[in-house]
Each structure stands twice: as structure tokens, then as C-alpha cells.
Amino acid sequence: MRFEAISREEAIEKAVEELKLSKDGLTVKEISKPEKRIMGLKKIPGIYEILPKEKEERKKTDDVNGTVEVKNGQVLVTGPKGKGVEATLFIHEDQLIFNVNGEPVTGNRTLSAQDVIEVSFEHLPPEVHFQVELSESMLEAYVEIRRKSGKKYRLKDLEKTSRGALQIEFDPLPPEAIHPEEVFTALANCGVLPEFILEDAVKKACESKESGKILVARGKAPVESRRTDIDYCSEIFVKEITRGLEPVVMKGTKLAEKNGEAVEGIPGVDVKGAEIKVQKVKDEELKAAEGAFLDGNAVYAERDGRPYLKKGEIGVVPLLTVVGDLDKDTEDIDFDGDVVVKGNVQDHMVIRATGNISIIGSVYHSELYAEQNIEVQGKVIGGILRAGDENAVFQTLLPIVEKVILVIEAMFTGLQLTEGRTVQDIMDSISKGKEETEALFQEIEQIEEIFTPHQLQVVEEIEKKFAYVFKEIRLLHKEGFIELNTVYERLLSMVEMMKEELLDARLIKLYYAQNATLKSSGDVEITGDGSYQSSIVAGNEIRFTKFASVVKGGTLLAGRFIKAGIVGTPSEIQTFLKVLDREGDITGRFYKGTTLMRKDELKDYAAILK
């Protein structure tokens, strides 16, 4: 007798009550297990066959369940006997197609001996792909091969059972071989010349069973040029001003030695047959400047001081050291070299130096002019500090002048009466050049406040020449074209000069400034408490390195960047900050009363609350 119950124990209880027998007198056989579905919310009772023990032997022979087995790829089904149940098979394999009586089947399926079962598979074919890749230098060619084995599926044997699951297994299918001719053709299609193809490498790549990237062609590599081999003493490249407190090198020190001449390289050939050029090199000769001398293949210091390298020449800047304060008991200093004051610079003194100026103490109401850098380890109260060759404007002026040059070059092209161009086209080109040039000179006017009188005079002179040029060209006078070329050559020289100066950026470095005027062609760096009512101008950047530094009043003008701590005061002291580059920026924390400008535009900021 069969009973439905949620558990074996429940089924036995039902059988005891129904058959009026004790538990010991019963045999229990589980036909199907209880199940839980829908996330455990629905319970499906199991089926249990429970018989009195005396009938067990008879039942074993009368009731037999159906079976299913898999043997040599065939699914074999036998039907049940008596009250036995049909065999059940679970089918769930992605690559398996299982049809029963012409219908596809997945999941659990009860099978009878009369069912027509058909089994097929979705085999995975092997894959092989390749592509040719050229190196960035075009000196090498590679073939990248991607191989992937296929799979031929079959049914896994299953022993005879009344409930079973189909499983599949597979035999690997190796990918087809690549014929070398296919690779040769692909290389030719990419322009690779036959003489550079490595045939053995191609054959090896085709025979390999692995994926990979193989070098299959190589051009003729160039022999790189070699620059002049010169060893310089490390002191030449020392930038810290404080290293000049004592002579950096002593008389007789070897400053540089030439170990080998420049050697022109040999061009190569890439896999397509194009020439791979080598860098043109010119042998450099050792040159000694003032303070140094040439002896054979080496340059030596002729005096104590600071070595330098400029425009290919090696020299030594002399050093003047003042021990103690510089005051009215001593004279003003005008020195060709570096100046070091191991004390303070007192009121109304003047120091001029072609090199660096280093002050160990503070500066009071004095003037310091250095063609190189200035460092004051203490405060600057009043007075003037200027570092550089009055070229603070170069950082901002250079890109504008380069744009003017591009406008002139475009005009040169536009002035050519080529096929299809009319005189009116030429006149339009002149008008366009005039408008663009005038716009660029308006940009220059916005930075005139940091020009020296001489620089302002030069700009005004060039602007007048442009006015003359455009007037004469519109009248088609030859003089206008000649003058335009003259101005063009002059601007090219100016650009070269400005770039040369900017390679060796100047720096003014100090702790604190009060009622002082600071002007650097490069940067101004304030390391301490900040500044008060000072005028600070830098061709590139003004930076306050202390986070809590305060800029109280005054004017700060930089070519590109101003990096400040706190600017202004709660009492809204008037403080003006401006960068001349439209792409530049001003950073800091600002009180009301502060004005920020980028080029000719006001910059908004969130004021510090009082």
C-alpha cells in the first residue's frame, strides 16, 4: 500500500493506523522523496510503499520499477512490472539535444520502453585566427595566432537505474594547421618585403599548436648616432643658491672632459623598405669662458668660485664674501660674480652682481640687483630686489610673439598669386592678417605694466612698423613687402632670445616681505609668514610655501600662477592679485577686499567668513 507523507515517520504513522500493525511488522520503501518548491513555501509529499513483512517476498517478485541506462551512446529503457513505476531521466546539458517521440525535452522526463529517443549534439568546432602586426618603428613584423580547440560531445555511460541524469563528455578537436603561404600573403598585403621575412620563423609559427605572437620579419636596424661624450663636474648643475656661501670649486678643479667625438649613425631600413633616419649630430668642442681655461681635452677652473655652463661655454663665476653686516661703514657692491653677505644688509645699501646674491640675514631698505638669483634667509623690509635681465615679461610675451609669427607666415602664403587665386583673395588675406595682428598687440598692451621702458619702446616700434607695412602692402608698394620680411626676421630673433633666457629661470627666495618691491624674471618664493603691502612681480610663478602665510595688501602680478595661503584680512585690506596667462590660475583662501584677475577678466572666489 502506498502512502503520501511529508516525512518517512509520518508515512509509518499512517500505515500503522491503516493496517492495524505495529511498526516492527512493516517494511518501508521510498518511491519518491518529499520536495520543497517556490522558495520553500510549497511542500510536495513523498510517496512511500509500506507492506506487512509477510508479504514482502511476494511483492519483490511481482512489482519492479522501470529502468534507464546509457551504453555506448545509446539510451536504453525497460518498462516497469506489476505496480512498479516508469524510469525517470533528468536532462540538462547545453550542448545536448534530446528528443522523445520527435519532441525536444529538458528537465525531468518519465520514459517508457515504447518511447522513440533521439540524441544529437551541438559540437564546438575548432578555431584558428591570425593577424599581422607591425611594430611602431616599422622595424619588425609579427604574426599573432589565436588557436582554440573544439569539442566533439558524446553521452557518458550510465548504469541501469530507475532515476538517473544524463551527462556528456567530449573529445578535443585540434584546430586546423595554418599554411605558411597564408602568412606570406598576409605579410605581402601589409607591404612587408620578401627579403625581410624570416621564413623559418613563419613555418615554426604555423606548425606550433599554441597561441602566441611570433616575430616573422625584421628590417635592417639603424646604427644610432652618438653625441659628443663630455663629462661635466656635478657642481656645474648645482642650483641651490646657498651652495655659493663658499667657493663651489677651487682653482685647478677639472670642470669638464671630452671623452669622445660625435659619430654620425647609419640609417636603417624598415620592413616595408623605407629608410629609418638617424639623428644628425655635430661634434661639440669644449669651450672655456671667463674663469676657466682649456688644456687638451679638459677644462679647468682658473679661479675659485661657482662653475656654470651657458651656450656651450664653461666658466667660473668669482665669489665675493662679506663677513658680517653690510652697512654704511662699507661701500656699495658692484661685482662681476656671486655675492654672499654673512649678516644683514642695513639701510640704503646697493648690491649689483652678475651672478647670485645670497644674504644670510635680512635686508632693510636696500637695493639688490642680480642677473641670476637672489636668496634672503631672513626678512626684506622696504627696498628693491630684482633677479634676472629684466625679462619677467618673457613667460607671457613669448607665446604672443610666436602667434604673430604664425600670422605673418600665413600672410606670406596668402600673398602668392597661385592658380585660382585673384588679387581680391590676396587683399582679403592682408586684411585678415592685419586684424589678427592688431588683436595680438591688444593682448600685449594688457601686460605692458611689467615691461621695462626699453621693452615698451621696442614693442611700440614694432607696432608702428606693422602699421607702415599694412599701409604699403595695400597700395601694393614693394617697400611694404620688404619691411614685412624685415619685421619677421626680427621677431624670429626675439623668440630665440626669449627662449634662451627662459631656459635658465631666475628665482627670488625670501622668508618675509614688508613694503618691498620684488621683481623676478622667473619665480618668487616666500617661505615664511607672507607679505605686507609689497609689490611682487614674477615672470612665471609667485608661491607662498607656508600654508598659514598671509598676504596683507599690496599687488602680486605673475605670468602664470600665484599660489598663496591666506590673502587679505578680516578688515578687508585692499589686495590685488593678477596672472597674465589666460590659462594660468590663482589659488588660496581669500578675504573680502581681495581682487583676483586672470588676464583681463575678474575671477570669482568664495570669501572667508569673518
Residue 302 and residue 248 share a domain: yes
C-alpha–C-alpha distance, residues 243 and 373, integer Å: 12
Q: Are 267 and 222 in contact (CB under 8 A)?
A: yes
Contacts of 120 (CB under 8 A, 6+ apart): 97, 99
Both 340 and 324 in one domain: the answer is yes
Give the mean pLDDT of 90-114: 92
Residue at 607 is within a domain: no
Same domain, 108 and 197: yes
pLDDT for res 38: 64
Q: Tell me, what's the pLDDT at 425?
A: 78
473 and 518 together in one domain: no
User: Other CB atoms closer than 10 Å to residue 412's CB: what's the count?
Assistant: 14
Q: What is the mean pLDDT of residues 520-527?
A: 93
- Residue 24 makes CB contacts below 8 A (sequence gap 6+) with none
Distance CA 31, CA 54 (A): 20
pLDDT digits (tens, 9 = 90+) for 46-88: 888 888 876 545 455 578 999 999 999 999 999 999 888 999 9
Which residues are bridge partners to 558 per DSSP? 538, 579
Residue 356 pLDDT:
92
* 247 confidence band (pLDDT: 50, 70, 90): low
% of the chain residues with pLDDT over 70 = 93
Q: b or e along 58-82 (b: 16 or more beta carbons within 10 Å of the residue's beta carbon)? A: eeeeebbbbbbbbeeeebbbbebee
Q: Over 50: is that where the pLDDT of 400 sits?
A: yes
| Shared domain check, 163 and 83 | yes
Distance, CA of 523 to CA of 561 (rounded, Å): 10
Residue 39 lies inside a defined structural domain of this protein: yes
Among candidate residues 503, 538, 572, the one where a domain is terminated: 503
Q: What is the mean pLDDT of the chain?
A: 88
Q: What is the mean pLDDT of residues 407-432?
A: 77
Residues 279, 284, 289, 291, CA torsion sign: positive
Mean pLDDT over 424-440 rounds to 85
Long-range contacts of the stretch 197-206 (C-beta < 8 A, 24+): 197/141, 202/143, 205/143, 205/145, 205/178, 206/177, 206/178, 206/179, 206/180
Pairing state between β 585-590 and 561-567: parallel
The x, y and z cell numbers of residue 365, run together, are 631698505
Residues 382 and 423 in one domain: no
Is residue 224 one of the residues assigned to a domain? no
Cell numbers found for residue 161: 537505474
- DSSP readout, 221-260? --B--B--EEEE-GGGG---GGGGGS-SB-TT-EEEEEEE
HEC secondary structure over 354-368: CCCEEECCCEECCEE
Residues 57 and 112 in one domain: no
What angle do helix axes 453-474 and 423-445 make, rounded to 10 degrees?
A: 160
Position 244 confidence tier, pLDDT thresholds 50, 70, 90: very low
Low-confidence winner among 168-172, 461-465, 593-597 (lowest mean pLDDT):
461-465
- Of 314, 335, 352, the one marking the end of a domain is 314
206 and 251 fall within a common domain: no
The full 3-state SS of 380-422, as one line of letters, equals EECCEEEECCCCCCHHHHHHHHHHHHHHHHHHHHHCCCCCCCC
Three cell numbers at 206? 604555423
Range of weakest confidence among 144-153, 218-227, 445-454: 445-454
Q: Are residues 381 and 524 in the same domain?
A: yes
Classify residue 206: in a domain, yes or no.
Answer: yes
pLDDT top residue among 504 and 331: 331
Q: What pLDDT score was predicted for residue 444?
A: 83
Of the given ranges (62-66, 322-326, 392-396, 491-495), which has the lowest mean pLDDT?
Answer: 392-396
pLDDT above 80 (res 136)? yes
Q: Is 0.85 topped by the overall pTM? A: no
455 and 372 both lie in a single domain: no
| Signed CA dihedral, 376, 380, 384, 386: sign only | positive
CB 322 within 8 A of CB 314: no
Q: Which residues pair with 535 in a beta bridge?
A: 517, 555
Lowest mean pLDDT among 289-298, 352-361, 477-486, 520-529: 477-486
Which range has the worst mean pLDDT, 70-84, 161-175, 205-219, 385-399?
385-399
* Within-domain flag for 281: yes
CB burial of 9-42 (b: ≥16 within 10 Å; e: otherwise) equals ebbbebbeeeeeeeeeebeeeebeebeeeeeeee
Has residue 306 been placed in a domain?
Answer: yes
Statement to judge: residues 211 and 87 lie in one domain: yes
Residue 139: pLDDT over 90: yes
- Count other C-beta atoms under 10 Å from residue 128's C-beta: 15
From 398, 395, 443, 400, select the one nearest 541 (Cα to Cα): 395
- The single-letter DSSP state of residue 604 is -
pLDDT reading at 124 higher than 50: yes
Q: pLDDT value at position 60?
A: 53
**Is 581 part of a structural domain of the chain?**
yes
Whether the pLDDT of residue 192 is over 70: the answer is yes
548 occurs within a structural domain: yes
Contact partners, residue 17, CB within 8 Å, separation at least 6: none
Count of C-beta atoms within a 10 Å radius of residue 177:
12
For residue 4, give the C-alpha cell: 503520501
Q: d(Cα 570, Cα 590) in Å, to the nearest integer?
A: 10
Q: Is the distance from CB of 51 to CB of 28 less than 8 angstroms? A: no
Give the structural domain span for 248: 229-314
State yes or no: pLDDT of 458 exceeds 60.
yes
Q: With contact defined as beta carbons under 8 Å apart, do 576 and 556 qualify?
A: yes
Average pLDDT over residues 526-534: 96
Mean pLDDT confidence for 474-503: 84
Residues whose CB falls within 8 Å of the CB of residue 198, separated by 6 or more in sequence, listed in order: 215, 216, 217, 218
- Which of these three, 472, 503, 534, is where a domain ends? 503
Is the pLDDT at 390 greater than 80? The verdict is no
pLDDT of residue 147: 93
**Residues 355, 360, 362, CA angle at the centre, nearest 5°?**
105
Tally the domains of the chain.
5
Considering the domain architecture, whether residues 511 and 385 belong to the same structural domain is answered as: yes
User: What pLDDT does 168 receive?
Assistant: 94
